[in-house]
Amino acid sequence: MTSNDIRKRFLDFFASRGHRVVRSSSLVPANDPTLLFTNAGMNQFKDVFLGIEKRDYVRAASCQKCVRAGGKHNDLEQVGRTRRHHTFFEMLGNFSFGDYFKTEAIPWAWELVTKDFGLPTERLFVTVFREDDDAEAIWAKIVPRDRIFRFDEKDNFWQMGETGPCGPCSEIHYDMGPEASDLGHKDCKFPCPQDCGRYVEIWNLVFMQFNRDGSGKLTPLPRPSIDTGAGLERLAAVLQGKVSNFDTDLFKPLIDEAAELANTEYGANHDADVSLRIIADHARAATFLISDGVMPSNEGRGYVLRRILRRALYHGQRLELKEPFFFKISGHVVHMMTGAYPHLLQTAQHDAKAIKSEEQRFGDTIAIGLKNLQGSLDMKESEYEQALKIV
């Protein structure tokens, strides 16, 4: 199943159940100074959940573009070195604003995962908050009790902030098989006490049913709501039978193009593979950020974008890519994603120009850096990046 099929099937499923399909909001949050970038599907509905804003629908579904790089939510240093960390990702979600609750949300999630997506039930596990008897009772009508696990507040309770709407959550996990274990576990059971990577969370259902005041007291909300999130990249890996997100159709074409430009082969060398994954990931983030109006600079969002760009360009240098190349990878991102995000085509020339300009600046920095750093050819990557102000 292609990523485009997954995206469409998810949204169609909820549209057929009375949900308004709402297009993704910008990566630059509107009227929310607490966020550097949009990082979750619920961001654009925050004021609706808080009761500040009213809309002409009480059910919604979306595929939200998100970035986690810089600020509190920062996956930048892990990207390329793990199978599932990304700077840019898409979050599928369904939302209820005081309309339906657990009784509908849980069976719908299970129906979509097992029937529409066709995942084998014997590879699925669910978790609930330790005090959420209602959620466990609903799940127990659907799955065997030995596949339901209770966790504490750290893992299965969500809150918007120190105060405000909050509630327990329930997660669906998928067994990726022994080959997905980072620790070589052959027969570990769910939940793996060492979190070896074999069992992957594919969907989180948040039940916003309380308000937490300044003293920490929880008061039931008069109209409980639903906020769910399923990462497209993880779903694609599961449904395409890939252990790594980078082997899915969301990343592999970009990796292959970068490998061709570098005259190398993905899978032949570990260090080169890390660089190829970083280039593919960062091309997605940079393309979408620039398309949404962020430009490279030395402060705020622009500084984070510049770090992303220069980190990718540095890894191009490691692959001995001497000529400007990143704008070509960005162009491939536009080609791959414009069906879901038509605005990319409208800004493609602007994106390419901005990236080529940054590539030129980086080339100038390299030239100056090499002149000033003669005799330090054996510098560690972290030292070299610091010298070039990449990290």
Residues 292 and 220 grouped into a single domain: no
Q: Do 286 and 254 form a contact (C-beta atoms < 8 A)?
A: no
Identify the residue with better confidence: 368 or 298.
Answer: 298
For residue 328, the enclosing domain spans 251-387
How much is the average pLDDT of 158-172?
A: 90
Is residue 217, in this structure, part of any structural domain at all? Answer: yes
Residues 269 and 229 grouped into a single domain: no
Residues 157 and 287 grouped into a single domain: no
Report phi then psi at 369, rounded to 5: -65, -45
Is residue 149, in this structure, part of any structural domain at all? Answer: yes
Is residue 231, in this structure, part of any structural domain at all? Answer: yes
Is residue 243, in this structure, part of any structural domain at all? Answer: no
Per-residue confidence (pLDDT) for residue 320, from 0 to 100: 95
Q: How far apart are alpha carbons 115 and 187 in whole angstroms? A: 27
Residues 193 and 341 grouped into a single domain: no
CA 7 to chain centre: 14
Residues 214 and 266 grouped into a single domain: no
Final residue of a structural domain among 183, 205, 238 = 238
Residues 54 and 192 grouped into a single domain: yes
Is residue 246, in this structure, part of any structural domain at all? Answer: no
Final residue of a structural domain among 238, 268, 291 = 238
- The domain that contains 198 carries what CATH number? 3.30.930.10
Nearest to 247 by CA among 267, 218, 269, 231: 267
Based on the structure, what is the number of domains in the chain? 2
69, 174, 244, 284, 291 from 336: Cα distances, Å: 22, 27, 19, 10, 15
pTM across the whole model: 0.92
Is residue 125, in this structure, part of any structural domain at all? Answer: yes
Residues 196 and 304 grouped into a single domain: no
Q: Do 148 and 159 form a contact (C-beta atoms < 8 A)?
A: no
Residues 217 and 284 grouped into a single domain: no
The per-residue pLDDT for range 350-385, each reduced to its tens digit, is: 999 999 999 999 988 777 776 665 555 555 555 555
How much is the average pLDDT of 147-169?
A: 91
Final residue of a structural domain among 213, 238, 263 = 238
How much is the average pLDDT of 293-322?
A: 95
The per-residue pLDDT for range 225-260, each reduced to its tens digit, is: 999 999 999 999 999 999 999 999 999 999 999 999
Is residue 65, in this structure, part of any structural domain at all? Answer: yes
